[in-house]
Each structure stands twice: as C-alpha cells, then as structure tokens.
Amino acid sequence: MPRLRIAKRLRVHIRRHWWRLEYVANLYPDRWGDCDWTKRRVRIRDKAAGVDRLDTIIHEMTHARFPDLSEDAVTDFASTVAAVLHQDGFTRHDDEED
C-alpha cells in the first residue's frame, strides 16, 4: 500500500494518553477507519460523510477508549449514537454543501 496521505490530524486525549486522530485519503478500501493501540492512533477515511462519518468516528474512538469491548458491542453502540446524532442534525459543515 502506498504511503497514506493525511488530510487532517488532531490530537485527542483518551485514557490518560494523547492519541492522533488522522483523516486519511487512502485507507484500505474495505475500511472506513481503524484503531491502533500500539501507535495510539485512530484513522478515518477522509471521504466518509454524513452518518457514515459519525458512525466511524464514534466506532474507532470507542475502540480506543474501551479496548475490551467486543466488536459487536462497539458496532451497536456507534451505530445507535451516530443515528441519533444524525437525526438531530449533527453534521460536518462541508457535508451540507454536497
């Protein structure tokens, strides 16, 4: 895989540690995001939009904060919260311009 192009990078504090939250252009084609505990890094596909973007951010940040939760629990939690936030109008400013 070619070197990842990072579109945006944030520092976030999770469980007494600083993590990097990176929005990347060329993440693996079958993933919206990933969480790497060894590097303390969460990556999100930068083209994700709307409820998919909310779901992915919540999903990966939940993995970072609660590493012992099962994938099913993380998926259920993230999908539920993302759907509620999306219904309530939470969106990224540039999502509205599309």
DSSP 21-43: EEEESS--TT-SEEEETTTTEEE
| The predicted structure's pLDDT at residue 67 | 95
pTM of the model: 0.85
Mean pLDDT, all residues of the chain: 88
Percent of the chain with pLDDT over 90: 65
Residues 10-27 have a mean pLDDT of: 92
pLDDT digits (tens, 9 = 90+) for 22-68: 999 888 888 999 999 999 999 999 888 889 999 999 999 999 999 99
Give the span between the Cα atoms of 72 and 81, in whole angstroms. Answer: 14
Cα distance between residue 35 and residue 19, in whole Å: 10
Domain boundaries, the chain: 6-95
